[in-house]
Amino acid sequence: MHGLDDDPTPNGELTLQTLSMPADTNPYGDIFGGWLMSQMDIGGAILAQQIARGRITTVAVGNMAFLRPVPIGATVSVYADATDVGRSSIHITIEVWIKIANTGEVAKVTEGEFVYVAIDDNGRTRPVPRD
């Protein structure tokens, strides 16, 4: 994983972009970490299903790092990078970057490693197609 100052630009493909809203805050007025993780899972799943060419499921999340709080009104961008594709699994490193509208500040706020598995219509593991 990358530290806060290791890489000033996003790694991976932009897979999801949304706006942080007041309904998604914790008691302190910052965006709730669980909401941020769900956006990461969605962004990673978009890339994983493209690679798997079909249905996938999340099987593991690891090495999560929350680097700084996300304020209300920030543009939240999810970047996903497939780091390993196995027989049925897809490992994806996900970074979340924000842009604060009134200042234009851009910063990485979260990163983590997600693992997805390709599944068939019955929910059973299937091979990832090879090109």
What's the CATH number where 94 sits? 3.10.129.10
Q: What percent of the chain has pLDDT over 90?
A: 92
Phi then psi for residue 12, to 5 deg, are 100, -170
Q: What percent of the chain has pLDDT over 70?
A: 95
Tell me how many domains the chain contains. 1
Domain ranges, residue 88: 13-118
Return the CA Rg of the chain: 15
The mean pLDDT value of the chain amounts to 94
> What's the rounded mean pLDDT across residues 27-51?
97
Residue 35 is assigned to a structural domain of this protein: yes
The pLDDT tens digits for 69-127 are 999 999 999 999 999 999 999 999 999 999 998 999 999 999 999 999 999 999 999 99
Which residues, 6+ apart, have CB-to-CB distance to 77 below 8 Å?
A: 10, 14, 16, 17, 96, 97, 98, 99
